[in-house]
């Protein structure tokens, strides 16, 4: 996990001793299968704990009895274990603590912090008000604790029907944060829970989640950005219930993946409509599907590790995932050959069948091996010369249809009529005769093996026609044609035939169904191609879960569900990168593997806007008058605006009585002191500012010195001018002295100094900073600047 704002917080907390160790948790709701979207969140939770020597919990957030099932619990835990996580005994269920939550709810009621409300759902929503309309108290808001307790107990006892009452926190009905307008804590739901049995009241997320964090001893509770507003409830609860030490919630931005959807509802729809074969259809983004596809846990984790963390929702380039998958497979998958779309070649001068011995690994993977050993498909590590398999070469072989062209495009490095090409490991052949079918397509090539000396531009793969194994090949491609299938994709042009009529007014008369926003129409019609071809016989001896690179085709493995000994089914995990296909015009592409031109996805980013003229801010007449008064004093325009609009700053400035130094004092107040003034941590007296300004005006201190002193005085309360006096601060402008320091600094950074002398002017700032550091900020910047220019220039 690369450093991020959360690790920063953790390091601070660990250092200050706030917590003895980090405890995190990943809290999925068991109402669906884990998918690539969860990978990032779980990785952040788990890996962060690992990194700081803490522990991590897996927790099932199963407070909604209508959604949670044991099947999902098992599946999620299984997938996460597959990813390599081990939470030991720290596997929790929210439902294990229903009894304890209940006790805390009673405590809140007794404290007067919660009440039973008895209005309908609709009414409650109406009473909550709107963002600019404060809520109105429900008629039941002032029930006594006794009354509430009685009602709440009877709720639990099952005396009421669904929705008749709710328990609500009593917080603030007029809060601008809607979450704080007396959120519901418990609802009545006569549904039995898959684990907890016959409860009829269920805790809401906002009540349950913080409590569960606290009960587990979680320290840093990470969740996604949409819960920012909920943090107020979290903190309120922790405070009211007196948890100490207590967990804190931190929010991070979600990470989506291009060409992928993660909405449970939409994924379910794909299955229900038969658009994919199930939750483990290899095209699905679920972990089950990626497992079946053949992606390894190491690759998934490498992917997760590469994604950064911050507080913005972002969509990650699919290439990052593909890169992780390929990088993992390159050194994991032995090379063998398979022909997916066969074209028969007769080797007319091959008299006897041969058994070739070909290496599993290309030269570069061999070179990469640290111990010189290489894996056999079974996993055994052997010396390079033993990492081989037998491959039969017979008079009839198959090559790939796309590896022969009657009229080759420019740059074609494969077989052509009369041309030469190397059959991997079997020598060079020349196509002497081509037999065509009625449609003019080649059906048989008669070729002859040529001596090595003739040379060949390219190498193609092949299998023996008589001694290879028939197999089905499933070629998967991305499920969607567009990078953001859940967005609007206004520039969806990759399917010209289906492009709807452009309707600038957005008033299409046939717009009854929201078809345009329907993600299904972005499905890639070629996301699955099934081919029947042949694979070399060596694979029959290998373990079922061997991942191969079929040379020049991609990475494959046996479909763990559908492949049989007598009916091999290989699924393509991922293609090889193909810079040849990329360079070809669209029509000539061999397969649909090319990537559609990037249609800029919907609103992930502010689409560059015309230089919208900055609207003039609105000022009240009072502000206007105050600004003019300040301007009259000599205060700069920007500073005047700030002082006039922020009463805290304005007032502080006024106390200063700056007189002739008004402009300088105003600048300090606005630019350097606004932070401490607003946070209320300032100890500096405004009346002390003019004296400092006077020193600056006289030239005895620099503005850098003034700034530094100001910062210190804001903390200590000492008059800045007095601090200058006491610390003996003054501008250091003695040329000889400065030159000595500059030389020292240059000597201390020889590499940079050389680059600087060589003309890298950007280093000016670097050296200036070094000089300032060396002199405690007292060097005369102007003088140092000219010294440095001399160095760079001469």
Q: Which is nearer to RNA, 127 or 276 (CB)?
A: 127
φ/ψ of residue 362, rounded to 5: -75, 165
In whole angstroms, the minimum distance from the beta carbon of 135 to RNA comes to 9
Q: Which is nearer to RNA, 155 or 528 (CB)?
A: 155
What is the gyration radius of the CA atoms in the chain, in angstroms? 36
Q: Give the residue from 409, 425, 501 showing the smallest Cα distance to 460.
A: 425
Q: Which is nearer to RNA, 276 or 350 (CB)?
A: 350
For residue 665, CA distances in Å to 84, 462, 706, 707, 722 come to 60, 82, 11, 11, 17
Q: Which is nearer to RNA, 6 or 276 (CB)?
A: 6
C-alpha–C-alpha distance, residues 192 and 638, integer Å: 64
Q: Which is nearer to RNA, 82 or 766 (CB)?
A: 766
In whole angstroms, the minimum distance from the beta carbon of 199 to RNA comes to 12
Tell me if 212 sits within 8 A of 94, measured CB to CB.
yes
**Residue 29 bears catalytic tag:** yes
Q: Which is nearer to RNA, 181 or 276 (CB)?
A: 181
Tell me if 31 sits within 8 A of 72, measured CB to CB.
yes
Sheet with 554-558, side-by-side order of all strands? 335-336, 547-550, 554-558, 568-574, 469-476, 528-535, 338-339
**Residue 264 bears catalytic tag:** yes
| Residue 231 structure tokens | 């943090």
In whole angstroms, the minimum distance from the beta carbon of 500 to RNA comes to 21
* CB-neighbour burial class of residue 122 (10 A; exposed 0-12, middle 13-18, buried 19+): exposed
Sheet with 166-169, side-by-side order of all strands? 114-117, 166-169, 184-188, 201-203
Q: Which is nearer to RNA, 281 or 777 (CB)?
A: 777
In whole angstroms, the minimum distance from the beta carbon of 159 to RNA comes to 15
In whole angstroms, the minimum distance from the beta carbon of 43 to RNA comes to 13
One of 128, 141, 240, 254 is an active-site residue; which one?
254
C-alpha–C-alpha distance, residues 333 and 365, integer Å: 10
In whole angstroms, the minimum distance from the beta carbon of 250 to RNA comes to 11
| Residue 96 structure tokens | 């294990």
* CB-neighbour burial class of residue 679 (10 A; exposed 0-12, middle 13-18, buried 19+): exposed
Q: Which is nearer to RNA, 175 or 277 (CB)?
A: 175
**Residue 453 bears catalytic tag:** no
C-alpha–C-alpha distance, residues 517 and 602, integer Å: 12
Tell me if 311 sits within 8 A of 252, measured CB to CB.
yes
SS3 content of the chain, % helix, strand, coil (to 5): 40, 20, 40
Which sign, positive or negative, has the C-alpha torsion 352, 357, 358, 360?
A: positive
Sheet with 23-26, side-by-side order of all strands? 23-26, 55-60, 91-93
C-alpha–C-alpha distance, residues 340 and 414, integer Å: 16
In whole angstroms, the minimum distance from the beta carbon of 470 to RNA comes to 22
Tell me if 170 sits within 8 A of 202, measured CB to CB.
no
Which sign, positive or negative, has the C-alpha torsion 7, 9, 10, 12?
A: positive
> Over the range 575-605, which residues count as b (16 or more CB within 10 Å of their CB) and which as e?
bbebeebeebeeeeeebbbeebeebebbeee
First to last CA, the chain: 46
In whole angstroms, the minimum distance from the beta carbon of 712 to RNA comes to 13
φ/ψ of residue 197, rounded to 5: 80, -140
SS3 for 272?
A: helix
Q: Which is nearer to RNA, 276 or 343 (CB)?
A: 343
In whole angstroms, the minimum distance from the beta carbon of 325 to RNA comes to 11
One of 141, 240, 264, 707 is an active-site residue; which one?
264
Q: Give the residue from 433, 454, 437 showing the smallest Cα distance to 445.
A: 433
Q: Are strands 314-316 and 255-257 parallel, antiparallel or unpaired?
A: parallel
Q: Which is nearer to RNA, 121 or 717 (CB)?
A: 121
User: What is the full DSSP assignment across 86-132?
Assistant: --TT-EEEGGGGHHHHHHHHHHHHHHTSEEEE-S-HHHHHHHT-BTT
Cis peptide before 245 (omega within 30 of 0): yes
In whole angstroms, the minimum distance from the beta carbon of 336 to RNA comes to 10
φ/ψ of residue 620, rounded to 5: -75, 160
In whole angstroms, the minimum distance from the beta carbon of 459 to RNA comes to 4
C-alpha–C-alpha distance, residues 213 and 434, integer Å: 73
Tell me if 780 sits within 8 A of 731, measured CB to CB.
yes
Distance of CA 227 to the CA centre of its chain: 17
Q: Which is nearer to RNA, 5 or 91 (CB)?
A: 5
Q: Which is nearer to RNA, 166 or 340 (CB)?
A: 166
C-alpha–C-alpha distance, residues 404 and 341, integer Å: 11
In whole angstroms, the minimum distance from the beta carbon of 317 to RNA comes to 3
| Residue 654 structure tokens | 């006024």
In whole angstroms, the minimum distance from the beta carbon of 287 to RNA comes to 18
For residue 152, CA distances in Å to 63, 167, 168, 238 come to 18, 7, 11, 21
Q: Which is nearer to RNA, 276 or 415 (CB)?
A: 415
Which residues are catalytic, by number? 29, 254, 264
């Amino acid at each position: 996990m690369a450093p991020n704002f959360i690790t920063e917080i953790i390091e601070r907390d660990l250092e200050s001793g706030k917590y003895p160790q980090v405890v995190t948790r990943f809290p999925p709701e068991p109402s669906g299968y884990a998918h690539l979207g969860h990978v990032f969140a779980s990785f952040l939770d788990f890996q962060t704990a690992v990194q700081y020597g803490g522990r991590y919990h897996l927790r099932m957030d199963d407070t909604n009895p209508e959604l949670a099932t044991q099947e999902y619990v098992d599946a999620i835990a299984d997938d996460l274990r597959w990813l390599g996580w081990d939470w030991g005994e720290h596997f929790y269920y929210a439902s294990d603590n229903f009894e304890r939550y209940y006790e805390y709810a009673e405590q809140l009621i007794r404290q007067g912090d919660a009440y039973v409300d008895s209005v309908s759902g609709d009414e409650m929503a109406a009473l909550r008000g709107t963002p600019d309309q404060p809520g109105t108290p429900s008629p039941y808001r002032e029930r006594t604790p006794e009354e509430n307790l009685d009602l709440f107990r009877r709720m639990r006892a099952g005396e009421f029907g669904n929705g008749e009452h709710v328990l609500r926190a009593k917080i603030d009905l007029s809060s601008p944060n809607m979450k704080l307008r007396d959120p519901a804590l418990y609802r009545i739901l006569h549904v039995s829970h898959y684990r907890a049995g016959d409860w009829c009241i269920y805790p809401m997320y906002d009540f349950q989640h913080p409590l569960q964090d606290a009960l587990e001893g979680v320290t840093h509770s990470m969740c996604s950005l949409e819960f920012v507003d909920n943090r107020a409830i979290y903190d309120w609860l922790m405070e009211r219930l007196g948890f100490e030490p207590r967990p804190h919630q931190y929010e991070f931005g979600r990470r989506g993946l291009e060409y992928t959807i993660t909405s449970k509802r939409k994924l379910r729809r794909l299955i229900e409509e038969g658009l994919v074969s199930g939750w483990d259809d290899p095209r699905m983004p679920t972990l089950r599907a990626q497992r079946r596809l053949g992606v390894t846990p190491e690759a998934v984790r490498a992917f997760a590790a590469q994604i950064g963390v911050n507080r913005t929702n972002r969509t990650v380039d699919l290439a990052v995932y593909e890169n992780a998958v390929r990088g993992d497979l390159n050194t994991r998958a032995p090379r063998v050959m398979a022909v997916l779309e066969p074209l028969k070649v007769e080797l007319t001068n091959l008299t006897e069948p041969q058994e070739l011995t070909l290496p599993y690994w290309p030269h570069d993977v061999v070179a990469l091996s640290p111990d010189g050993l290489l894996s056999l498909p079974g996993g055994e590590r052997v010396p390079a010369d033993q990492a081989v398999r037998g491959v039969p070469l017979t008079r009839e072989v198959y090559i790939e249809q796309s590896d022969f062209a009657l009229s080759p495009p420019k740059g074609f490095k494969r077989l052509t009529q009369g041309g030469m090409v190397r059959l991997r490991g079997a020598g060079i052949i020349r196509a002497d005769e081509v037999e065509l079918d009625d449609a003019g397509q080649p059906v048989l090539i008669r070729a002859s093996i040529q001596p090595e000396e003739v040379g060949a531009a390219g190498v193609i793969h092949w299998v023996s026609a008589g001694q290879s194994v028939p197999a089905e090949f499933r070629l998967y491609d991305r499920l969607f044609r567009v990078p953001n299938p859940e967005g609007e994709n206004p520039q969806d042009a990759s399917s010209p035939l289906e492009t709807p009529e452009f309707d600038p007014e957005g008033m299409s008369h046939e717009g009854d169904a929201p078809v345009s926003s329907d993600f299904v129409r972005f499905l890639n019609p070629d996301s699955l191609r099934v081919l029947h071809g042949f694979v070399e016989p060596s694979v029959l001896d290998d373990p079922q879960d061997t991942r191969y690179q079929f040379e020049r085709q991609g990475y494959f493995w046996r479909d763990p569900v559908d492949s049989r000994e007598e009916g091999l089914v290989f699924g393509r995990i991922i293609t090889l990168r193909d810079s040849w296909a990329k360079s070809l015009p669209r029509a000539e592409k061999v397969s649909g593997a090319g990537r559609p031109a990037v249609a800029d996805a919907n609103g992930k980013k502010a689409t560059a806007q015309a230089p919208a003229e900055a609207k003039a801010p609105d000022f009240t007449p009072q502000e206007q008058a105050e600004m003019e008064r300040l301007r009259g004093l000599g205060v700069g325009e920007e500073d005047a605006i700030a002082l006039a609009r922020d009463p805290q700053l304005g007032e502080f400035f006024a106390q200063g009585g700056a007189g002739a130094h008004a402009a300088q004092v105003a600048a300090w107040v606005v630019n350097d002191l606004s932070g401490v003034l607003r946070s209320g941590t300032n100890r500096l007296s405004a009346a002390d500012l003019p004296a400092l300004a006077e020193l600056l005006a006289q030239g005895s201190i620099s503005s850098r010195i003034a700034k530094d002193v100001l910062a210190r005085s804001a903390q200590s309360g000492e008059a800045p001018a007095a601090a200058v006096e006491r610390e003996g601060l003054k501008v250091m402008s003695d040329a000889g002295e400065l030159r000595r320091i500059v030389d020292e600094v240059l000597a201390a950074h020889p590499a940079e100094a050389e680059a600087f002398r060589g003309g890298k002017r950007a280093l000016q700032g670097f050296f200036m900073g070094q000089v300032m550091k060396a002199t405690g900020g007292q060097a005369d910047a102007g003088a140092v600047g000219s010294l440095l220019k001399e160095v760079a220039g001469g």
